[in-house]
Chains A and B, each alone.
Chain A
Amino acid sequence: MMRYLGSRLLQSILLLWIVSLIGFFVLYLAPGGPLAQFALTPGMTQEQLARIAHQMGLDRPLPVQYWEWLSRLLIGDWGQSYRDSQPVLAIIGSHLFATLLLMGASTLLAMIIGTWIGVLGAIRRYSIFDYLATIGAMIGLSIPTFWFGLIAIYLFSVKLPWFPAGNMYTVGDASFLDYAHHLVLPCLVLTLVTVAIWSRYMRSAMLDVQGQDFIRTARAKGLPEHVVLRKHAMRNAILPMITVAGLQIPTILSGALVAETVFTWPGMGRLFLDSLNYRDYPVVMGVLMFSAVFVLLGNLLADVLYAVADPRIRLT
Chain B
Amino acid sequence: MSIQTTNGLARRRLFQLGGAGLLAATLPRPVLAAGGKAMKGQIIAGLSQEPTFFNPLMPHIEVDEAVYWAIYSPLWGVDEKGDFIPQLATEIPTQENGGISADGLTWTVKLREGVKWHDGQPFSADDVKYTIDLLNNPDFRAAKRQGHELVTKVEVKSPTEIVWTMKEVYAPYAAILAWTFIVPKHVVEKAASANDSTLNTAPVGTGAFKWQERVAGDHITLAGNPDFFGDGPHVERLVIKYIPDLTVMYTQFQTGDIDHTGLQGITADHYEEASKLPDRVVQANLVATIENIGFNLGKPQFQDQAVREALYYAIDKQSLIDSIYYGLPKATESYLPQQSWAFNPDLPKQSYDPEKAKAILDAAGWKPGADGIREKNGVKLSFLNSTTAGNHLREQAQQLIQQNWGDIGVKMEIHNLPPAVMWGDYWMMSKFDSVIVGIGFMVGPDPDATDYFGGKQTPAKGGNGQNTTQYDNPEVNRLLAEAASTLDRAKRTQAYKTMQEHTRHDLPFLPLFQYTLIEGVKKGLNGFKASINVQSNLWNVRDWSWS
Contacts and interface: CB of A to CB of B under 8 A. Distances in A.
Given A172-B42, A271-B217, A164 B420 contact: no
B515 to A, nearest CB: 13
Interface stretch (B8-16, B25-33, B247-255): B247-255
A262 B200 contact: no
Contact of B216 (A44, A45, A49, A95): A95
B442 A166 contact: no
Contact of A153 (B244, B251, B440): B251
B535 to A, nearest CB: 7
A316 interface: no
A45 B464 contact: yes
A166 B245 CA distance: 12
A157 to B, nearest CB: 5
Interface string A134-151: 000000000000000010
Interface stretch (A18-26, A32-40, A218-226, A234-242): A32-40
Contacts of A41: 60-62, 143
A68 interface: no
A168 B257 CA distance: 12
* Majority secondary structure of chain A interface residues (helix, strand, loop or mixed): loop
A91 B216 CA distance: 7
A172 B251 CA distance: 21
Given A37-B423, A164-B257, A261-B244, A94 B251 contact: no
A47 B424 contact: no
A40 B423 contact: yes
Interface stretch (B235-243, B278-286, B323-331, B368-376): B235-243
A154 B254 CA distance: 10
Interface stretch (A81-89, A209-217, A293-301): A81-89
A71 interface: no
A165 B257 contact: yes
A109 interface: no
A48 B145 contact: yes
A39 B215 contact: no
B420 A32 contact: yes
A175 interface: no
A239 to B, nearest CB: 38
A171 interface: yes
Contacts of B141: 52, 55-56
Q: Which of A83, A85, A158, A271 has the most CB of B within 10 A?
A: A85
B207 interface: no
A42 B448 CA distance: 11
A102 to B, nearest CB: 13
Interface in B302-317: none
Interface in A45-75: 45-49, 52, 55-56
Nearest to A279: B420
Interface size class on chain A is 35 or more
B196 interface: yes
Nearest to A164: B257
A26 B53 CA distance: 26
B244 A264 contact: yes
Contacts of B443: 42-43
A40 B290 CA distance: 12
Contacts of B143: 38, 41, 44, 48, 52
B201 interface: yes
A35 B451 contact: no
Contacts of A164: 255, 257
B230 interface: no
B131 interface: no
Interface string B430-474: 000000011111111000000100000101000111100000000
A290 to B, nearest CB: 15
B345 interface: no
B60 to A, nearest CB: 8
A32 B217 contact: no
A277 interface: yes
A81 B52 CA distance: 10
A35 B420 CA distance: 8
Interface in A231-285: 261-264, 266-267, 270-271, 274, 277-279
Contacts of A311: none
A264 B428 contact: no
Contacts of B427: 39
Nearest to B200: A85
A277 B196 CA distance: 23
A31 B42 CA distance: 43
B368 to A, nearest CB: 36
Contacts of B221: 171
A150 B218 CA distance: 19
B365 interface: no
Contacts of B195: 55
A36 B257 contact: no
A206 B16 CA distance: 77
A158 B418 CA distance: 34
Given A43-B444, A166-B243, A264 B255 contact: no
A92 B215 CA distance: 12
Nearest to A168: B218
B421 interface: yes
Interface string B405-436: 00000000000011111111111110000000
A71 to B, nearest CB: 20
A204 interface: no
A171 B241 CA distance: 10
Contacts of B444: 42-43
B215 A94 contact: yes
Given A39-B466, A43-B146, 19 more contacts: A32-B423, A36-B421, A37-B61, A40-B439, A42-B442, A42-B444, A48-B142, A48-B143, A85-B196, A86-B216, A150-B251, A165-B251, A165-B255, A166-B243, A171-B239, A263-B248, A264-B241, A264-B245, A266-B217
5 contacts: A30-B421, A84-B201, A150-B248, A165-B252, A261-B244
